Amino acid sequence: MTIAVLGATGMVGSRVISEAGARGHHVLALSRKPASEDPNVTPIAVDAQDSTAVRETLAGSASNEAADAVVLSVRTIPVDQEFLVGVTRTVLDAAAQLGIRVFVIGGAGALRSPDDRELPVADNPAYVPAEFKTVAAAGIAQLRTCQDHDGADWVYLSPPAQLEPGTRTGLYRRGTDTLLTSADGQSWISAEDLAVAVVDELEAPGTERLITVAHRDNDPST
């Protein structure tokens, strides 16, 4: 499979590239300043706001083959909701024209709270402190952009409340529209295991459009 990753140099995007490459997939690493020495990875300089460049790259240009799927893992600091929504729409438009799947790595704010399904995680201070509400709102706007798009084949992955670099265990729990927590109320996963979940889903797509994952211990009952 040829997998394009937009946001290739970010925390999640870079790990998706490593995971996909390790499994023998060909990866198109798309970013403003891409670089890679992995023979399974083709770095391509692309401005995510350039709709023509994005479409031509996904379609296969003189420097690369066509993508079978595209992973959108783009974030800005500080958060820029207009940029995020615009890039998401650009990728959805291109993918719809080309007939390829879009895998959006979004935010936890779009999920339901585990103890109150009527309460969005974005509005739950237990998981989203006040200083992160604009980030959560941008993630929700991104999901709505996907839901409002006609014709695109997409899946939106909401990570748990905490996502940070860590260890690849290859283990995780998978859910749909509700935040996953452990017995002690923690909701987290390493970026490495999130990448495992992303590539697993690309290799064997589920039927749900909104999914989430969280850390799982070695004990299969957890």
Domain containing 200 equals 2-215
The rounded mean pLDDT for the chain is: 93
Q: 204 pLDDT exceeds 60?
A: yes
DSSP for residue 61: -
Between 75 and 88, residue with greater pLDDT: 88
What CATH number should be reported for the domain holding residue 121? 3.40.50.720
Contacts of 120 (CB under 8 A, 6+ apart): 109, 110, 111, 112, 113, 140
pLDDT digits over 131-178, tens only? 999 999 999 999 999 999 989 999 999 999 999 999 999 999 999 999
Q: What is the pTM of this model?
A: 0.94
Asked whether residue 96 is assigned to any structural domain, the reply reads: yes
DSSP for residue 122: G
Of the pLDDT bands very low, low, confident and very high (cuts 50, 70, 90), residue 187 is very high
CA distance 26 to 195: 15
Residue 93: per-residue pLDDT: 97
Asked whether residue 173 is assigned to any structural domain, the reply reads: yes
Residue 61: per-residue pLDDT: 81
Residue 64: per-residue pLDDT: 82
Asked whether residue 44 is assigned to any structural domain, the reply reads: yes
Asked whether residue 222 is assigned to any structural domain, the reply reads: no
DSSP for residue 178: B
Residue 197: per-residue pLDDT: 98
CA distance 48 to 25: 22
Contacts of 54 (CB under 8 A, 6+ apart): 6, 30, 46, 48, 90, 91, 94
Asked whether residue 134 is assigned to any structural domain, the reply reads: yes
Asked whether residue 221 is assigned to any structural domain, the reply reads: no
CA distance 46 to 131: 31
- The number of folded domains in the chain is 1
φ, ψ for residue 60 (rounded to 5)?
100, 110
pLDDT digits over 24-40, tens only? 999 999 988 877 777 88
Closest CA to 105 of 213, 216, 217, 215: 213
Q: 220 pLDDT exceeds 90?
A: no
Asked whether residue 220 is assigned to any structural domain, the reply reads: no
Q: 196 pLDDT exceeds 70?
A: yes
